[in-house]
Amino acid sequence: MQSFATLLDRLSFEPSRNGKLRLIETYLRVEPDPERGYGLAAMTGSLKFRHATPSLVRVLLRDRVDPLLFNLSYQFVGDLSETVAMLWPEPVERGTPPALSTVVETLAATTRAAFPGQLTIWLDALDATGRWALLKLITGSMRIGVSSRLAKTALAALGKRDVNEIEDIWHGLEPPFVKLFAWLDGSGPDLDTINPAPFRPPMLAHPLLDRDMNGLDPGEFVAEWKWDGIRVSAVAGQSGNDPAVARLFSRTGEDISPAFPDLLASVQRDRFGAATIDGELLVVRDGLVQPFGVLQQRLNRKSVTPKLLAEFPIEMRAYDLLAEGADDLRALPFLERRKRLEAFIARLDDPRITLSPLVPFADWDALARIRADPAAAGAGADADAIEGLMLKRRDSAYVIGRPRGLWFKWKRDPFNVDAVLMYAQLGSGKRSSLYSDFTFGVWRAGVDGDELVPVGKAYFGFTDAELSQINKFIRANTVSKYGPVREVVHTADAGLVFEIAFEGLNLSKRHKSGIAMRFPRISRIRWEKPTREADRLETLTAMLS
């Protein structure tokens, strides 16, 4: 614990990236297993234990320090962990400081009732820096300016590896990472034996802007549909004589295999072999790709029942092939990977894993027409599940993260609806004195004629000048006030109409209207528009189907 504390202490004062890397690398080199592994886990946010609350820490000290002296000290220092670490009375005889591994392993097994006693023993055994580090660790607020990526970069340097090699195998590894260190030290077996089905982080695209298009040669790009599902990678592999491993990962590396046993079964087939596919998870009924809202319904279910699997049949549309057998294909140009992907999918011959087609186009104008009407351009009835187009350079390697100039996403125009402002709430931060959270609604038939029903909230999409105009309107048209919330006039004859842009709709039981908007924002303020001419709920529900 003491050397980990020293590391945190140094890191908290080191502003330079190189300096931080050096500190971490040195720590990881010098510390023995399993200590360094838990230190690495702490820096990468991989530790799982219940965090101690600040109030618990405060209570511990209350019995030991005069309250006025505590308050004066806390005001001066401004950080609870630090104040407590400094004020903790030095014991007459200091115990043996706990190892970091002891702390982590004990915390995972300690009951809430036993926690204060355990913490007291440790605080008595550590010096002030050690106490500070311990409190930072257990309250889960390290704030030492080290990202998970930075820690992994230092780790990679330890074994003179590329950080992306670490990213590749990271998911599926557990603290204290003993095998990982052995591989980096050169004393252990190779990495594919550590994790035969690693998460390979996806390559992401930049939005295509008008100014981009002017400089791009359409002949250097291919296009494909951007499906409105969830991005997944399907991975299978085997190390030595161990049983083969198959996993499904979300784009952040979360293992989502248990939620999709139907698709997992396809990845586990012998024909899949050892491979990594990047693709989109979709619900496909009778050959028709369903919009995101339908997939969302399956995702919302906690238990995966045979009924659910039958009702929401899943399919993966494959975009890319990152690895096949022992070959890492990511350095190859896109078109070469595509060729191998096509062959792979053909050989696999599994209706659950299909090829996402390329969309041929002659020039940007033609592509713009395709984007405006995917149905006419070959997507047919699947068009509702298409978010837009992806443009990929023919020669693009598969690069982790969001590299510039290789891939672009060109989304369809968002949905639009005219809605009436109903409630306004004070914002926070730099908008703390302004009404900047707006609840808006659309018309539906009620018992006493038409009524407005809230369908969403928007926080942005307006300029500062517009915000101040809206605020003026709100202050002049408040019907009633509930704390920070004002009800703004919204009748058929009076009120303010917003044109709301959004990315899609989901069914929702939590909302009175039964729907929830994805990413709503104010695209225009319709000062001139009569509220009675705002949209109706039926318009929205029609978009759902």
CB of 8 to another protein, least distance (A): 11
CB of 101 to another protein, least distance (A): 23
Give the whole-angstrom CA distance, residue 55 versus residue 482.
Answer: 30
CB 325 within 8 A of CB 274: yes
CB of 460 to another protein, least distance (A): 33
Residue 211: other Cβ atoms inside 10 A? 7
Q: What is the dihedral of CA 308, 312, 313, 318, to 10 degrees?
A: -130
Q: Which is nearer to another protein, 13 or 519 (CB)?
A: 13
Q: Which is nearer to another protein, 134 or 420 (CB)?
A: 134
Q: Which is nearer to another protein, 157 or 505 (CB)?
A: 157
Q: Which is nearer to another protein, 145 or 351 (CB)?
A: 145
Give Cα 119 distance to the centre of its chain: 33
Q: Which is nearer to another protein, 76 or 482 (CB)?
A: 76
Q: Which is nearer to another protein, 69 or 542 (CB)?
A: 69
CB 217 within 8 A of CB 393: no
CB of 24 to another protein, least distance (A): 12
- Tell me which residues touch another protein (CB under 8 A): 10, 12-15, 19, 22-23, 26, 65-66, 68-69, 72-73, 76-79, 82-83, 86-87, 90, 127-128
CB of 44 to another protein, least distance (A): 22
> What backbone torsions phi and psi does residue 337 show, to the nearest 5 degrees?
-65, -40
Give the whole-angstrom CA distance, residue 387 versus residue 390.
Answer: 9
Rg value, the chain, Cα: 28
CB of 73 to another protein, least distance (A): 5
Q: Which is nearer to another protein, 86 or 205 (CB)?
A: 86
What tokens does 125 get? 């055994």
CB of 86 to another protein, least distance (A): 4
Q: Which is nearer to another protein, 61 or 267 (CB)?
A: 61
Give the whole-angstrom CA distance, residue 409 versus residue 250.
Answer: 19
CB of 155 to another protein, least distance (A): 18
List, in order, residues 6 or more apart from 72 with CB less than 8 Å away.
Answer: none
Q: What is the dihedral of CA 69, 75, 76, 81, to 10 degrees?
A: 90
CB of 119 to another protein, least distance (A): 19
Name the residue with tokens 């096509």.
342
Q: Which of 26, 19, 20 is nearest to 3 (CA)?
A: 26
- Convert 436-469 to b/e letters by CB count within 10 Å (16 or more is b): bbbbbbbbbeeeeeeebbbbbebeebbeeeebee
What tokens does 352 get? 């659950």
Name the residue with tokens 């586990």.
268
Residue 41: other Cβ atoms inside 10 A? 21
Q: Which is nearer to another protein, 23 or 235 (CB)?
A: 23
CB of 37 to another protein, least distance (A): 21
Q: Which is nearer to another protein, 128 or 507 (CB)?
A: 128
Alpha helices in 282-379 (DSSP H): 292-300, 306-311, 334-348, 364-372
Residue 174: other Cβ atoms inside 10 A? 12
